[in-house]
Structure 1
Amino acid sequence: MIRPEFTVRRTGDRYECADVDEFVDRIIATVSRLATRPVTVAELRGVEFRTPLFSAGYPVHEVDEFLAEAEQWMPDRASAASRQRREAPTFSTVRMRGYDPREVDEFVGRVMATVNGEPVERPVTPRDVRRVQFNPVRLHEGYDIVEVDQFLDEAEDWLRRG
């Protein structure tokens, strides 16, 4: 496995270089089956890195893309994928104020594919779940905000536990 080359930047969303480098080293050792402390799929999905305040760091999107790809190489991926398949939720629709159904459906589709170990172009991380924001719709049918938010809490837990 080749070590990734991340861009280093001083602005924008970024992760602490040392944290990422240490975790990448553990991933490489795990894939090479040389790790004394192997990385699991659950740990890979739930890892969080510090954000540098004033120093340079690696762009969040580059690191997250690498981690999503690295999941395919994990030795325990098969056992994670063989777990019970989770079904996509259904949400009540409301007329006055709800979330845009198209946005929710797209994101929930990615969440379910990630959780169920299916191929997905952009796997979802617990951080993605915490940061997602859907546009509200008014006077059109939208998904019940409380139900969607409750699902997101549950989905974040699924992703953390792997």
Structure 2
Amino acid sequence: MLRPDFAVRRTGERYDRADVDAFVNRVLAATERGTPSGPELTRPELTRADVQNATFGRPFFGPGYAAEQVDDFLSQAVSWLPADEPPHRTAHKTTDHTTHRPEQSDPVQFEPPQFSPVRLRAAYDMDEVDDFVDRVMATVNRRPVDRPVTDRDVREVAFSVVRVREGYEIEQVDLFLDQAEDWLRHP
């Protein structure tokens, strides 16, 4: 089976290349009948549920693979894998919550962003951003929150700009807000 050749983007919906490459290696190793290539690969067991529930980092800056191409590949890969999980994985999941993968009906959990702090140049007030991001993450992850955030709230939010004290990199926060607006528009 040929390795997919995903387009690399600097903007738009994209996935972390290292995350995708590692997962694609697992998919290819699980579907090929020969020995997996590379010394670091052992014969991983992978199921349809693993592919359907795969998540990847989303870079704020820099290149990443085009998300729709990766998603299309994963949709095809589902049919190449067994439907049932190996018995040792099922037993392991019940005792170790760190390896829990969400079931089909579980909502996708979004990861909170990490912004670079800057000093002596224009930046967003850290406390204001942290408070708003906490509300956004609670809303998109369907956790209880006093004031759920809407996509309109994200579009209209205005943070104080600080110059002397430490603040968050403006461009990183703005990119996150674009992503958050998309999450809220397409739940």
- TM-score for both structures, normalised by structure 2: 0.43
- TM-score for both structures, normalised by structure 1: 0.50
Q: Which structure is higher in RCO with an 8 Å CA cutoff and minimum separation 6? A: 1
